[in-house]
Amino acid sequence: MASPSTVLITGILGQDGSYLADHALRLGYHVLGGIRGEPTPDRTWRLRHLGIHEQVSYIPFDLGNADSIHTALRQSQPNLIFNFAAQSSVGDSFKMPVQTAESGGMGALHIFEYARTADHPCRVFQASSSEIFGDITDSHHSEDSVFNPKTPYGATKLFAHIMAEAYRASYGTHVSTGILFNHESPLRGGNFVTKKITKSMVAVKQGRMSSFSLGNLDARRDWSHAKDFVDAMWRMLQLDQPDNFVLASGQLTSVREFVNLTAQALDMKLDWQGTGTEERGVDTKTGRTIVQVNPEYYRPYDPAQPLADVRKARRLLNWSPKHSLTDLIQDMVRFDLSHDI
């Protein structure tokens, strides 16, 4: 029998899972990491960077395999489950819609079912996403907005989100969801545009790269630090009643401005010339083109993102972000200056 202070984190090798593991360990919890495959050094680099790799116990956990899920949960009997594991890239979901749906949708449902039938107290956090809002015209996105996803990733997250609500209403299962807007950190994977920007700008600064390409520079996103979100996620499972919470900064920033702030953190300045696919960012000191636009990087579907309404999280969780966007970018740049990951 596991200790009543056992936390199971699926997707522990990712950005959110790693920070959540660090948070739980600091509070004295026993942390289990549900992973598919072996915890090799190249996969556990985030936990190693945080200095907690040896404090985590790993168990086999495959969200695409129901038997794997049930076996892992029966044997570990966690009382807190944070479900981060899924195909996590919106862009990749267009290439792998079935895999995205199976792991992110049905995998989450099996976890909810375990929590419903467990013979010990068990609370679940389900990582939802702002992608569930899709193409709607609300001036602000809140927990009560209409959901209308148009991406495989968003549709999958909405299925899990609705099933979490159904389990709460029908069975009284303690499952909360975080409707997460974009959140980044030094531990962000290289397939995300924020990491591509900071890592590429650092490489340009160090002379290892002459230029790089991006997609839609006008795309606007709400970017926060993953550490702030982890704090809110933990607070959710401390509530007596489970609920849904939008997590965001409440501010929108364009990809172009994110590049500008990254350049500023590196004591660089860009002059933007041209429009549309011909736009380019030119280093004002050298006159060299640093950033170009490549239409191949445009998403097949990329609706405008309205502001996020985070009043509920601030009120019920007594939570507010501690890191500004400038703090986040400086954190990422410092990491990329000293690591080649």
Contact by Cβ (8 Å): 8, 30: no
Token output for 219: 């795309």
Helix, strand, coil percentages in the chain from 3-state DSSP, rounded to 5: 40, 20, 40
C-alpha 277/C-alpha 125 separation (Å) is 41
Backbone angles phi and psi of 34, in degrees to 5: -85, 115
Amino acid 87: pLDDT: 59
Q: Across the chain, where does the E strand assignment appear? A: 6-10, 30-35, 57-60, 80-83, 123-129, 140-141, 175-180, 183-184, 212-214, 220-221, 224-225, 244-247, 253-254, 270-273, 280-283, 289-293, 307-308
Amino acid 1: pLDDT: 37
Amino acid 89: pLDDT: 55
First to last CA, the chain: 38
| CA atoms within a 13 Å half-sphere pointing along the CA-CB vector of 219 | 19
Amino acid 100: pLDDT: 72
Strand partners, 175: 124
Domains of the chain: 6-185+223-250+306-322 (3.40.50.720)
Q: Which of 286, 313, 159 is nearest to 224 (CA)?
A: 313
Token output for 335: 């990491």
Tens of pLDDT along the chain (341 residues) come to 345 599 999 999 999 999 999 999 999 999 999 998 899 999 999 999 999 999 999 999 988 888 989 999 999 999 999 999 865 555 565 666 677 777 788 899 999 999 999 999 999 999 999 889 987 666 788 999 989 888 888 889 999 999 999 999 999 999 999 999 999 999 999 989 999 999 999 999 999 999 999 999 999 999 999 999 999 999 999 999 999 999 999 999 999 999 999 999 999 999 999 999 999 999 999 999 999 999 999 887 676 777 899 999 999 999 999 999 999 999 999 999 998 76
pTM equals 0.92
